[in-house]
Structure 1
Amino acid sequence: MTRFLLIGGVLAAAFWVFSIVDCALQPATRHRGVRKGIWILIVVLLPVIGGILWFAIGRRRAGDPGPTPQVHPDDDPVFLRGISKTEQDARIARLEEELARLDDETDEGPNPGATPEPRP
């Protein structure tokens, strides 16, 4: 019986060290759930259970796609290639006209120092 406990203890210690090293050496993009430092704390403070949690929940597999970053239209090369030069020029002209119109408008609201008139 002592032999099984000794072998189990050695295997548990080896698994614990392996899971700490694996968690520490993985890049930050391969961690799920919480940040890398918190995963290391979980694995260190909960020796066997933390390692099991790390391999079951926290470690993202190599083929597992991560969260897809949001690409805005002006950063998307496919979108930018699809726009023709005339469309770009027309869009720029519309935006310039809108900016000019907004610059020309005057506020018709009350003066900043005046008190508002009561509505009937």
Structure 2
Amino acid sequence: MLRYLPFLLVLALWIYAFIDCINTPESQVRGLPKVVWVLIILLFGEVLIGPIAWLVAGKQRQPAAGGGGTPAERRRNRGATWVAPDDNPEFLRSLREENTKDEALLKDWEADLRRREEELRRKETGSADGGTGTGGRGSDGGDGTNGKGSKGGGKDPEDTPPAAS
């Protein structure tokens, strides 16, 4: 497998140079016409002379967009246009707006929870103080068996009256 590696590298360079030459506009081709460069790449590609000649002398290379070679140099040359999210005032404003919406929603949920808890307390204290008033039925409208039916053999410990002392 390793013995095929040099052949594959030559083939890859050959294909890259050919496609690069085909896709390069005529205005960026140096020295010879584009058709001649294609022929040189194809004829001398096996010995790497054609592709290397194209990459070195055939195409007019332009510096990286934005000038400067490193990202830091490009950033210095064009100014800081990108801002980190924690430094971006618009992003921070949107977070504050979301937080106020979330807090309002949370307050609504808490108020609803308090209201429901109060209703449950009223129901519990109403049934404990004045009896059920439903003709022997429990507060749930059932027959007092807590869903166990007549078969089940026994009552819950909550249903048994306290022992007389």
TM-score normalised to the size of structure 2? Answer: 0.36
Higher relative contact order structure (alpha carbons within 8 Å, sequence separation ≥ 6): 1
Instruction: Give the helix-richer structure, 1 or 2.
Output: 1
